[in-house]
């Protein structure tokens, strides 16, 4: 039986044309204004979804984005590719080996920077109205999931900001990126465990322990051996008659698919596998920076904008906007990450003013917060108001992080003190 017909394909192509065209246009406008492209891509979905287009031209919006199961599945599949490739590209910024060798300060900033916002946020989020919970959530799973969402830092935003400020390669920039790398590794590992707890119908301690050890073992093996394996594979690919650099880029994508399938099979979500594959490719010999940047640019030009734009097509941001929820999550997420990173830096012996800088470095949630929120929404652990609050916090923190980091960096340079 054939479920697809010519009308499905035509409408799917029209959806891609409209979503990608509007998303890229608004992203370009945002970038020219000094705002992350992420904001424009989400605004595209807001404009084309029920928030605006569906509110003022519901008939046309329903024709372009019908509720037909086959049509929705086609767009949803492309959207998931955007999530996977986003995590793969984000992993390129993580040098796990360097981060683990970077010393006590980076380790403390990275780990405490995750633990503190969760410890601060979970009790607060547990007090929120149960009506904000998703249909599949209880008080514990809701608080843990939202707490984790507020603890993850967007290393890609940090790397871009440090580069713009001319701090890439400096001791301060190296410490910041190493700490963010540890934050991402620890945060995504913790997220995988929390998701296992939240989605288990009956929580069996033995199963939870096995899943946790499997996740830790998988990440450990990939960090120790992954970059070498990909490096050797890249050298082998270079000796073939395959077109370069396309063959190496296909190898990196293939590594993401294999790792994603492996983590999904282990009972951990595939996004962790794609992220770990990105970290492996990020330091592999034979995979040049130019190749990684070219692959990342392609992903961010096509698949990632479609993911963020598709989010807005599914959500009414006006109906879901609750000022109190937005204010609570934004304050806890940004404040918790700042305090956690600052505390970790001070425990690691970092001078006070540089510790403040690291606190600012950790505030942006960016795309990573939105990915966690999307998974929580898909798993029915949160409702639309909480999802909207997380998206708002992710955008606000990403927009303000660069200017705040720059202001404090100039203060450090002017005073000559750290």
* DSSP string for residues in 146-200: HHHHTT---HHHHHHHHHHTT-TTSHHHHHHHHHHHHHHHHHHHHHHHHHHHHH-
pLDDT, residue 253, reads: 94
Q: pTM for this one?
A: 0.87
Question: Do residues 271 and 80 touch, judged by C-beta distance below 8 A?
Answer: no
| Chain segment 64-91, per-residue pLDDT in tens | 999 888 888 889 899 999 989 988 988 8
Q: Which domains does the chain have, with CATH numbers?
A: 6-80 (no CATH), 99-201+282-415 (1.20.1530.20)
Measure the CA dihedral 99/293/365/149, to 10°: -80
In the numeric block, which tokens belong to residue 416? 């000559």
- 386: closest CA among 126, 123, 133, 135? 133
Q: Place 415 in a pLDDT band, splitting at 50, 70 and 90.
A: very low
Q: Place 2 in a pLDDT band, splitting at 50, 70 and 90.
A: low
In the numeric block, which tokens belong to residue 243? 């077109």
In the numeric block, which tokens belong to residue 321? 């906007």
In angstroms, the CA 360 to CA 335 distance is 10
Average predicted confidence (pLDDT) for the chain: 86
Question: Do residues 269 and 195 touch, judged by C-beta distance below 8 A?
Answer: yes
Cis amide linkage into residue 245, ω under 30° from 0: yes
**Does the pLDDT at position 40 exceed 80?**
yes
Helix orientation angle between 384-415 and 139-149, rounded to the nearest 10 degrees:
30
| Chain segment 308-349, per-residue pLDDT in tens | 999 888 888 888 899 999 999 999 999 999 999 999 999 998
Question: Do residues 62 and 54 touch, judged by C-beta distance below 8 A?
Answer: yes
Comparing 408 with 345, the larger pLDDT belongs to 345
């Amino acid at each position: 039986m054939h479920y697809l017909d010519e009308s499905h394909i035509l409408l799917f192509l029209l959806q891609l044309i409209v979503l990608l065209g509007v998303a890229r246009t608004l992203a370009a406008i945002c970038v020219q204004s000094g705002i992350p492209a992420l904001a424009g891509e989400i605004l595209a979905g807001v404009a084309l979804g029920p928030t605006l287009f569906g509110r003022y031209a519901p008939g046309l919006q329903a024709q372009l984005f019908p509720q037909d199961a086959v049509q929705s599945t086609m767009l949803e599949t492309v959207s998931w590719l955007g999530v996977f490739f986003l995590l793969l590209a984000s992993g390129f910024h993580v040098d796990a080996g360097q981060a683990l060798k970077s010393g006590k300060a980076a380790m403390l900033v990275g780990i405490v920077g995750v633990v503190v916002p969760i410890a601060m946020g979970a009790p607060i989020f547990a007090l929120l109205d149960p009506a904000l919970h998703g249909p599949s959530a209880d008080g514990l799973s809701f608080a843990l999931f939202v707490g984790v969402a507020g603890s993850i830092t967007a290393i890609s935003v940090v790397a871009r900001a440090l580069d713009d400020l001319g701090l890439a390669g400096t001791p301060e920039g190296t410490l910041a990126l190493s700490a963010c790398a540890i934050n991402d590794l620890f945060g995504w590992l913790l997220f995988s465990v929390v998701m296992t707890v939240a989605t288990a119908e009956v929580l069996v301690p033995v199963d939870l322990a096995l899943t946790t050890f499997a996740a830790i073992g998988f990440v450990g093996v990939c960090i120790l051996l992954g970059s070498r394996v990909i490096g050797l594979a890249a050298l082998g690919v270079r000796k073939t008659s395959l077109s370069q650099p396309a063959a190496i880029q296909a190898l990196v994508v293939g590594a993401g698919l294999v790792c994603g399938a492996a983590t999904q099979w282990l009972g951990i979500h595939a996004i962790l596998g794609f992220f770990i594959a990105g970290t492996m490719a990020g330091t592999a010999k034979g995979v040049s920076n130019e190749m990684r940047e070219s692959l990342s640019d392609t992903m961010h030009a096509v698949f990632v904008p479609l993911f963020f734009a598709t989010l807005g097509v599914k959500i009414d941001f006006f109906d879901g906007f609750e000022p109190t929820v937005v204010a609570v999550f934004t304050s806890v997420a940004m404040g918790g990450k700042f305090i956690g990173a600052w505390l970790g830096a001070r425990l690691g012996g970092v001078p006070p003013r540089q510790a403040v800088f690291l606190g600012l470095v950790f505030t942006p949630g960016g795309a990573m917060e939105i990915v966690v929120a999307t998974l929580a929404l898909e798993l029915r652990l949160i409702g639309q108001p909480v999802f909207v609050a997380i998206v708002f916090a992710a955008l606000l923190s990403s927009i303000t992080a660069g200017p705040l980091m720059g202001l404090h960096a100039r203060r450090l340079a002017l005073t000559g003190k750290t």
